[in-house]
Amino acid sequence: MYNHELTVIEMKCAVFDLFSSKIDELSMEEMLHECKRMFMSHFEIMNADILLYDNNRFIPLIEGKIMGNGSKSRTTKDYPIVNISLLAHTGDINEDSLIIRDNRLNPLAALIFTATDKWHSFAESPYLKDVKKVLGTFVGQVVKVHQLSDNESMYRRLFEVTEHFNSTMDSDVIIEEMMRAVLKSFSGYEVQLLLSQEYNDKTKGYRLFDYVNERASAVDAFLSGDLTIEKNAEDLNGILMNAAIGGRQGTYGVLQIVAVNGTDFTATQKNFIKLITNVAGSALENANLYEQSYRLVSDLQLVDETSKELNSNLDIEDMYDYLDVQFRNAFSPDEMAFVTIQGKPSIQLL
């Protein structure tokens, strides 16, 4: 005979001890795996998987798999919530599942496991709701703590990028820093950059905005300067978010982010993208204005110096030599020639 009340008390103590001692040491994935192992231990379960509910989908947490940035991998495949029953019942009558919810009954996670006699007995008892509440409180707090940490990291990245933008007038550096911050914050998403003009060869990973053939949602974002969402994009097999990179004088490109179908971009993600594209757009505008001003000043200096030199007492050969040097420095031509017209019938090439 199982003592279910004692099981609940032991689980409450184990959950409290895990949260209080490990929340600052372990990642969210590691905390949830510890929770899964605690659940397995109390119900003598040999096989179990835990799935995190995120952006309208359940994501299996693969234990021990490390990503390139050193954090635990979250997913190998995405399972929508409507298929949770299919995951739980794969033909084996011992397969069972437990959806973990918060106090408002919103899903947080799910446990898929091979049920035991102890679990079957417990699941039929009135103490099941107590365990659901314990697990819901624990998972909810873990997710909340790590969401706050993730948001802090995201906005710290934005602050660092803004500092870089304010310290440079190099368009290539601005684009590179923006893409680095976005890719770090959206590591599991496909990111594309469309720019309205060509930049130096140093700038990689973008394509020119095609005003005729771009998607309607991208054109709408470019023209309006707003963020647009295109859902159920069949050719992309996902949801497309377009964010205009704009300043006060115009739009300089569109940042596109593709997420898998069934995923909603969170308000935090949308706000982050709006902020970083607005800051990058203003920085690009300032860089472009600086480059235009620099070229204008250089052109005026060229005209001034050339006028002074030509107004001095130069013979014709010295004048051509001087103009040759000035034009080559200013325009870097592959070939150049001076043509003089000596009367109507003849042209002389110098």
- What is the pLDDT, as a whole number, of residue 309? 78
Tell me whether residue 341 is in a domain.
yes
Question: Both 122 and 22 in a single domain?
Answer: yes
Question: Both 282 and 339 in a single domain?
Answer: no
Amino acid at residue number 284 = L
- What is the pLDDT, as a whole number, of residue 73? 39
Count Cβ atoms within 10 A of the Cβ of residue 148 and give its class: 0-12 exposed, 13-18 middle, 19 or more buried.
Answer: exposed
CATH of the domain at 81: 3.30.450.40
Residue corresponding to tokens 């707090």: 141
DSSP annotation of 83: G
Question: Both 21 and 135 in a single domain?
Answer: yes
Task: Report the number of distinct structural domains present in the chain.
Answer: 3
Spacing of C-alpha 218 from chain mean position: 17
Q: Is the dihedral of CA 87, 93, 95, 99 positive or negative?
A: positive
Domain that holds residue 123: 4-147
Tell me whether residue 176 is in a domain.
yes
Tell me whether residue 195 is in a domain.
yes
Question: Both 116 and 182 in a single domain?
Answer: no
Return the C-alpha torsion angle 288, 193, 227, 58, nearest 10.
-150
SS3 181: helix
Tell me whether residue 305 is in a domain.
no
Tell me whether residue 160 is in a domain.
no
- What is the pLDDT, as a whole number, of residue 90? 47
Question: Both 92 and 179 in a single domain?
Answer: no
In a structure prediction context, what are the per-residue pLDDT tens digits for the chain, which is 350 residues long? 578 899 999 999 999 999 999 888 888 889 999 999 999 999 999 999 899 887 777 888 876 543 333 344 333 344 444 344 444 444 455 678 899 999 899 999 999 999 999 999 999 999 999 999 999 999 999 999 988 888 888 888 888 888 888 888 888 889 988 998 899 888 878 899 999 887 665 556 788 888 888 899 999 999 998 899 998 776 777 889 999 999 888 899 999 998 877 677 888 889 999 999 999 999 988 888 888 887 788 778 878 888 887 777 778 788 888 888 888 877 788 888 877 776 655 545 55
Beta-bridge mates of residue 349: 339
- What is the pLDDT, as a whole number, of residue 87? 47
